[in-house]
């Protein structure tokens, strides 16, 4: 009798654990994304715990760059129809490889048995090609790319121009400056790479509404090549960062790749932060709020000015966002894909281990006292 009562009480918990949306007993993303162990940047940015609250569902990140590999298996399910402003068509494929790498860091598909997982694994990618195969481009074309992205639904615009030598000149007034201001006025967050010149300079005027990203390394120290000096910058990993790459020959990889490659640069840092920004926008923050949260929750225990405000802390940022914009229960369930928040798992398991046996014992004793 006792065993039967205990089985009846424990059965619902067993069913909960076995359900498709049940408790996260293991980090399924590691098994489902084979190159996940190579992605030290995810832990450095504290992304895994942040995903329990938000995964950036359907937030559109525009990658304004050299294009994106339109057939890459880790990107194709997230790609929206884009534009090629270099060749003037609707096929923004990537003859260089740089844009494909940035796109994967921002929003590569997670849990699909392919290589990696992006910072915002449920966001959408809007590829806009504005740079030629050699990585060069004009301020006018880049500005047109920003405007096109904004007009086609981008919530985040990523400008990883730090390695091209364009950054210092682009924001000294001119068409790109105006395009970025217009994007901000329309509620779009523009994330830009600081540059790779190992120099102290402010390439972007303080009044230009962008989020500048410096580069850090695996030890959360400043990368030796990072440009720094912007008064309101953050940092993210930019050294030996693994992401998606075109498998065929490109300017950057003439002999091709296995679909993945490691790169250095503030371009990689900006791609990661664009993904984190998408997590916050999916929680209901405005572009200005998201920029403020990313800056105020960043970690810089040594107050190193080369890290700006510090290395982005995605978990702290999404926690702060949830305090500013608490979601109704139905929306919160949708934001996490119907999954329990990871921090609830141990509470439920411990509670069940204590409460269910106690309840069973109390019921048995009550029945025993009730017998004549």
In sequence order, the β-bridge partners of residue 212 are: 192, 233
Q: Check 267, 269, 274, 322 and give the catalytic one.
A: 267
304 is catalytic: no
- The verdict on whether 274 is a catalytic residue reads no
Active-site hit among 74, 98, 160, 269: 98
Residue (of 141, 198, 197, 147) closest to 170 by Cα position = 141
Is 325 an active-site residue?
no
Number of H helices, E strands in the chain: 13, 9
Q: Output phi, psi for 151, to 5 deg.
A: -65, -20
Give CA–CA dist 324/53, Å, rounded: 14
Q: Are 176 and 170 in contact (CB under 8 A)?
A: yes
Residues 6+ apart with CB under 8 A from 193: 159, 160, 161, 162, 163, 167, 212, 213, 265, 266, 267, 269, 270
Task: Name the catalytic one among 33, 65, 93, 264.
Answer: 65
Report the catalytic residues: 65, 98, 267
């Amino acid at each position: 009798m006792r065993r039967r009562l205990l089985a009846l009480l424990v059965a619902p918990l067993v069913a909960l654990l076995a359900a498709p949306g049940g408790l996260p007993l293991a980090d399924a993303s590691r098994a489902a994304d084979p190159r996940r162990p190579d992605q030290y940047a995810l832990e450095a940015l504290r992304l895994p715990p942040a995903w329990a609250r938000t995964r950036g569902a359907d937030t559109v990140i525009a990658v304004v760059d050299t294009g994106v590999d339109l057939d890459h298996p880790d990107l194709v399910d997230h790609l929206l129809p884009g534009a090629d402003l270099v060749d003037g068509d609707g096929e923004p494929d990537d003859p260089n490889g740089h844009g494909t790498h940035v796109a994967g860091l921002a929003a590569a598909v997670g849990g699909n048995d392919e290589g990696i997982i992006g910072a915002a694994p449920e966001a959408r990618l809007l590829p806009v090609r504005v740079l030629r195969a050699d990585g060069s481009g004009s301020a006018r074309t880049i500005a047109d790319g920003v405007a096109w992205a904004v007009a086609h639904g981008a919530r985040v615009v990523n400008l990883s121009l730090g390695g091209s030598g364009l950054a210092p000149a682009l924001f000294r007034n001119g068409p790109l400056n105006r395009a970025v201001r217009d994007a901000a006025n329309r509620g779009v967050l523009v994330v830009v790479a600081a540059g790779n010149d190992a120099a102290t300079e402010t390439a972007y005027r303080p009044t230009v509404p962008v989020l500048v990203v410096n580069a850090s390394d695996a030890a959360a120290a400043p990368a030796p090549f990072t440009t720094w000096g912007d008064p309101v910058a953050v940092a993210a990993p930019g050294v030996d960062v693994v992401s998606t790459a075109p498998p065929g020959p490109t300017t950057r990889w003439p002999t091709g790749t296995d679909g993945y490659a490691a790169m250095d640069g503030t371009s990689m840092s900006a791609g990661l932060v664009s993904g984190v920004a998408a997590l916050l926008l999916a929680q209901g923050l405005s572009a200005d709020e998201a920029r403020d949260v990313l800056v105020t929750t960043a970690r810089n225990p040594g107050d190193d000015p080369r890290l700006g405000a510090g290395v982005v802390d995605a978990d702290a940022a999404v926690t702060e966002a949830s305090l500013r914009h608490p979601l109704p229960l139905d929306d919160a369930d949708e934001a996490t894909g119907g999954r329990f928040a990871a921090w609830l798992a141990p509470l439920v398991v411990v509670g069940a281990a204590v409460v269910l046996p106690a309840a069973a014992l109390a019921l048995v004793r009550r029945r025993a006292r009730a017998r004549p």
